[in-house]
A = this chain, B = another copy of it.
Amino acid sequence: MIDFIAVDWGTSSFRLWAMEATGQVVAARSSKEGMSTLQRPDFAPALEKHLECLSVSKDIPIVICGMAGAASGWQEAQYIPTPTRLCDIPAHAIKVSGTERDVRILPGGAQCDAARPDVMRGEETILLGAALESGGDGLFCLPGTHSKWARVVNGELVSFSTAMTGELFARLAQGSTLSQFVDSSIFDEDVFVQSVRDAANSPASFTHALFGMRAGPLLNVLAPETIASRLSGLLIGLELAGVRADETGPVSLVSSGPLSRNYQLALKELGLDFQVLDADELVRKGLTFAAQKLWPMPVYH
């Protein structure tokens, strides 16, 4: 039986789960209908299409996290400033107007510090899920187009920082003087790990190292097929150079797939302890908690 609908609506992807109040998944759907592909009037029909496929009746409530709540998304859910208790996030959900269904969008998090301004949308719900699991204390790394590093203490999101790692990779892999050499289908672990070390040891040499990937193949001292691994290693190494090894406790790495493998190799190379958490599971936990706060539901075990 479907009790509520949970949606993670990001920049480039849409993921929906039909859920029981217990947090059990009844059905799942996903598509490439991310926020960046939609105009404001497109959101309601895009969601409706998926709900109809699952025959979700009109009285089932829907909770959404992610970029759907951005100013350029479906309807803006204002950022919650840090520091904030993660379990307080659902109280700041907005109710989407102009739809028959009860649709709520969770707010993002913002660090309104002029020296270190930062924003997140979606990751706060993952962190909420983690906080429910184990208190969620510690340093979280959520890699991606814009990698997030978040510090959680006693269930409170204290501070966070975003590195533009994935976007820099994409900008350099396409349309730069390096593009012709970047073949992301090949992964060379040795080159990757060496490159992580290079960037972490000498972050000031980063832009020089970038040009070395142009000159190296020209001079036959660097194999072109290793360039994608080196670029990824340099970027992740630069990102990690800012993480202090004396941070308390292990890093909680929230990711999966090849990106998770790369971050695990990098963290290991730099001597940082870590544990790996599953982003999908955590975001569903966070959305289930939010749904229970918004529409208290009996849980039958």
Chain A residues packing against B (C-beta within 8 Å): 71, 79, 110-114, 116-119, 146, 161-165, 167-168, 171-172, 175-177, 202-208, 210-212, 214-216, 218-219, 221-222, 235, 238-239, 241-242
Given A119-B219, A176-B171, answer yes or no on A163-B239 (Cβ-Cβ < 8 Å). Answer: no
Task: Judge whether A162 and B118 touch: CB under 8 Å.
Answer: no
Q: Within the assembled complex, what's the spacing in Å between the Cα atoms of A146 and B208?
A: 9
Given A112-B219, A171-B175, A219-B112, answer yes or no on A208-B117 (Cβ-Cβ < 8 Å). Answer: no
Least Cβ–Cβ distance between A203 and chain B, in angstroms: 4
Q: Within the assembled complex, what's the spacing in Å between the Cα atoms of A167 and B218?
A: 18
Least Cβ–Cβ distance between A268 and chain B, in angstroms: 19
For A165, the chain B residues whose CB sits under 8 A away are: 207
Q: Within the assembled complex, what's the spacing in Å between the Cα atoms of A166 and B72?
A: 30
Q: Which of A112, A161, A206, A214 has most chain B Cβ within 10 Å?
A: A206
Given A221-B113, A222-B114, A222-B117, answer yes or no on A207-B238 (Cβ-Cβ < 8 Å). Answer: yes
Task: Judge whether B210 and A164 touch: CB under 8 Å.
Answer: yes
Least Cβ–Cβ distance between A246 and chain B, in angstroms: 15
19 further interface pairs, Cβ-Cβ under 8 Å (given A113-B221, A164-B210, A165-B207): A110-B219, A111-B215, A112-B221, A114-B216, A117-B216, A117-B219, A117-B221, A117-B222, A118-B212, A162-B211, A163-B207, A163-B210, A164-B177, A171-B172, A171-B176, A203-B203, A203-B206, A204-B238, A207-B238
One complex includes copies of this chain to the number of 2
Task: Judge whether B162 and A167 touch: CB under 8 Å.
Answer: no
Tell which of B113, B168, B211 touches A210, judged by Cβ atoms closer than 8 Å: B168
For A163, the chain B residues whose CB sits under 8 A away are: 207-208, 210-211
Q: Which of A161, A208, A235, A242 has most chain B Cβ within 10 Å?
A: A208
For A221, the chain B residues whose CB sits under 8 A away are: 112-114, 117
For A113, the chain B residues whose CB sits under 8 A away are: 221
Closest 9 CB pairs of A and B: A204-B241, A162-B211, A203-B203, A163-B207, A117-B216, A204-B242, A203-B204, A117-B215, A114-B221
CB-defined A-B contacts under 8 Å, sample of 10? A79-B219, A116-B208, A117-B222, A119-B215, A119-B219, A162-B214, A168-B210, A171-B171, A204-B241, A208-B242
Given A238-B204, A239-B207, A242-B204, answer yes or no on A212-B117 (Cβ-Cβ < 8 Å). Answer: yes
Task: Judge whether B112 and A205 touch: CB under 8 Å.
Answer: no
- A116, closest chain B residue (CB): B212
Task: Judge whether B167 and A118 touch: CB under 8 Å.
Answer: no
Q: Within the assembled complex, what's the spacing in Å between the Cα atoms of A155 and B288?
A: 71
Least Cβ–Cβ distance between A263 and chain B, in angstroms: 14
Least Cβ–Cβ distance between A3 and chain B, in angstroms: 34
Least Cβ–Cβ distance between A262 and chain B, in angstroms: 15
Tell which of B119, B146, B218 touches A218, judged by Cβ atoms closer than 8 Å: B119
